[in-house]
Amino acid sequence: MKHTLVSLITGLVFGLGLIVSGMANPEKVLGFLDLAGLWDPSLAFVMGGAIVVGLAAFAVARRRTLSFLGLKMNIPEATHIDKRLVGGGLVFGIGWGIAGFCPGPGLVALGAGEAKAAVFVASMIAGMALFEILERKKTAA
């Protein structure tokens, strides 16, 4: 129960942060991505702050074997860059540029009743399902 409550609170704080920062607003995100037009650099500061917090959190996490709630730490160990990683990053970036959403803000906007977010989340789920189908076929072959 404690872990569920902490997860809920963490998710709510994260979602609130996405709303306050403008990351759940596709027009603001597309303004940030429009480098050749009316570029809005404000999200660069949001992302820069997130990177600093993330680097600090991972530095602390790497020194621990258990989380602050007593759960086993599962830090990703892969460090190689391959075609799948680059391809996935390109697909992610293209989708972000078209929709103005990435997964977290898309879910927050869906919860806020944004119609565009419903289309985005449905497309995201369809893409995830397609990936799973292709991976299973690849593994079975």
Return the pLDDT at 78.
85
C-alpha to C-alpha distance for 22 and 15, rounded to whole angstroms: 11
- Residue numbers of the domain that contains 54: 2-140
CA-based nearest residue to 101, from 22, 9, 20, 46: 22
pLDDT average per 10 residues of sequence, the chain (141 residues): 88 90 87 88 90 94 88 86 93 88 91 91 93 90 74
Report the number of distinct structural domains present in the chain: 1
User: How far apart, in whole angstroms, are the C-alpha atoms of residue 13 and residue 57?
Assistant: 16
User: In this structure, how many other beta carbons lie within 10 angstroms of the beta carbon of residue 21?
Assistant: 18
Q: How far is CA 39 from CA 20, 23, 63, 111, 139, in A?
A: 19, 15, 40, 28, 44
CA-CA distance, 66 to 4, in Å (whole number)?
Answer: 17
The predicted structure's pLDDT at residue 43? 87
d(CA 141, CA 139): 6
Question: What is the structure's pLDDT at 82?
Answer: 94
Query: Residue 75's pLDDT is what?
Result: 84
